[in-house]
């Protein structure tokens, strides 16, 4: 695979940004290759997939391109106070890359996958722009983004955690679990991130309740008429020891019986690369089967 590191000025982000492109060697000038965009997690950047996974090896076997952008701490949204990352990934980046790389650029040849924050981003792209993607793959993605925003934008709760007021913090956590039914494992894991209140307000605004039913709420988007008219195959993977496990189970219940192609695969594993790497063969097998159907 040939590796290209592309730095270019983005109109959507109003800044210079970087995307890595892995392209099979020796392709014809008139080739039209399938592509898989890989989205990184909250604490990673565009190098994470290259350093920690074997995605390149699987892509080389299939003869497809990998597109690995940097999305900073955006949750792949058009941020309330920041860059328009969703617009960048769905509209600007494909058009830009199509001018330089042998990409087919059609729905039946375009895939998106991501881990953690990137898993959410993969489903968000697929549901907001279903006309562009054949399948989306979420590895430990949070299916209830409102839960995360509720905790990490709560100044009082975060301060209690940061300043070591453990008993008051535990009491507040118990109250949230009882009243709002957010899993305690998720809350405690999120609080380990420290003070991210301003960062999350930059992503989603200052009202933590505004995300429910919004255009970044996956539980709303999966029911949308736009998604129904141009369905995308959705594949989710989440370990049973993962703090996003509960939200993935809830999403499965919602998707069940809707007539869409949605699949959840679970098993032993936490929120880490050992688990995600074990799922890669299944992801690339699905893409391989699609390619064989089209040939």
Q: Is 94 helix (H, G, I), strand (E, B) or coil?
A: helix
Q: pLDDT-based confidence at 201, cuts 50/70/90?
A: very high
Give 84's strand partners.
78
Domain residue ranges in the chain: 2-144+215-294, 147-204
Q: Which of 98, 85, 91 has the alpha carbon at shortest distance from 131?
A: 91
Query: Containing H/E element for 69?
Result: strand 65-69
Residue range 121-137: mean pLDDT, rounded: 98
Residue 292 has pLDDT above 90, yes or no: no
Q: From the options 3.40.640.10, 3.40.50.300, 1.20.210.10, 3.40.50.1820, give the CATH code of 2-144+215-294.
A: 3.40.50.1820
Q: Residue 27's pLDDT is what?
A: 86
| 52: exposed, middle or buried (Cβ count in 10 Å: 0-12, 13-18, 19+) | middle
The phi-psi region of residue 4 (left if phi > 0; otherwise alpha if psi is between -120 and 50; otherwise beta) is beta
Q: What is the pLDDT of residues 258-280, one digit of tens each?
A: 889 999 999 999 999 999 999 99
pLDDT digits (tens, 9 = 90+) for 88-110: 999 999 999 999 999 999 999 99
pLDDT of residue 163: 85
Q: How far apart are CA 27 and CA 69, in angstroms?
A: 22
Which residue(s) pair with 17 in the sheet? Answer: 8
pLDDT of 28 reads 82
pLDDT at 209 over 80: no
pTM of the model: 0.96
CA dihedral 148, 149, 153, 157 (to 10 degrees): -40
Query: Can you read off the two tokens belonging to residue 3?
Result: 């590796």
pLDDT band of 257, cuts 50, 70, 90? confident
């Amino acid at each position: 695979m040939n590796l290209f590191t592309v730095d270019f000025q983005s109109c959507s982000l109003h800044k210079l940004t970087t995307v890595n492109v892995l392209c099979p060697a020796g392709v014809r000038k008139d080739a039209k290759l399938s592509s898989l965009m890989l989205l990184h997690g909250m604490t990673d950047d565009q190098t994470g997939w290259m350093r920690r996974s074997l995605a390149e090896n699987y892509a080389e076997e299939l003869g497809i391109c990998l597109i690995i952008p940097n999305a900073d701490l955006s949750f792949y949204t058009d941020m309330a106070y920041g860059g328009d990352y969703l617009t960048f990934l769905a509209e600007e980046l494909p058009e830009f890359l199509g001018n330089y790389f042998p990409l087919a650029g059609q729905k039946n040849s375009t895939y998106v996958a991501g881990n953690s924050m990137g898993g959410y981003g993969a489903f968000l792209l697929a549901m907001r722009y279903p006309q562009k993607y054949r399948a989306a793959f979420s590895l430990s993605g949070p299916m209830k983004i409102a839960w995360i925003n509720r905790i990490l934008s709560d100044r009082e709760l975060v301060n209690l955690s940061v300043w070591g007021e453990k008993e008051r913090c535990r009491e507040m956590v118990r109250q949230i679990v009882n009243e709002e039914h957010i899993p305690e494992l998720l809350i405690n894991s999120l609080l380990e991130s420290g003070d991210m209140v301003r960062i999350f307000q930059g992503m989603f605004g200052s009202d933590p309740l505004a995300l429910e039913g919004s255009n970044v709420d996956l539980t709303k988007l999966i029911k949308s008429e736009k998604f129904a008219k141009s369905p995308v195959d959705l594949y989710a993977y989440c370990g049973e020891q993962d703090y996003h496990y509960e939200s993935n189970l809830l999403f499965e219940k919602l998707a069940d019986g809707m007539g869409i192609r949605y699949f959840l695969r679970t098993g032993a594993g936490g929120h880490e690369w050992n688990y995600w790497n074990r799922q890669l063969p299944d992801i690339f097998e699905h893409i391989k089967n699609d390619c064989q159907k089209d040939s």
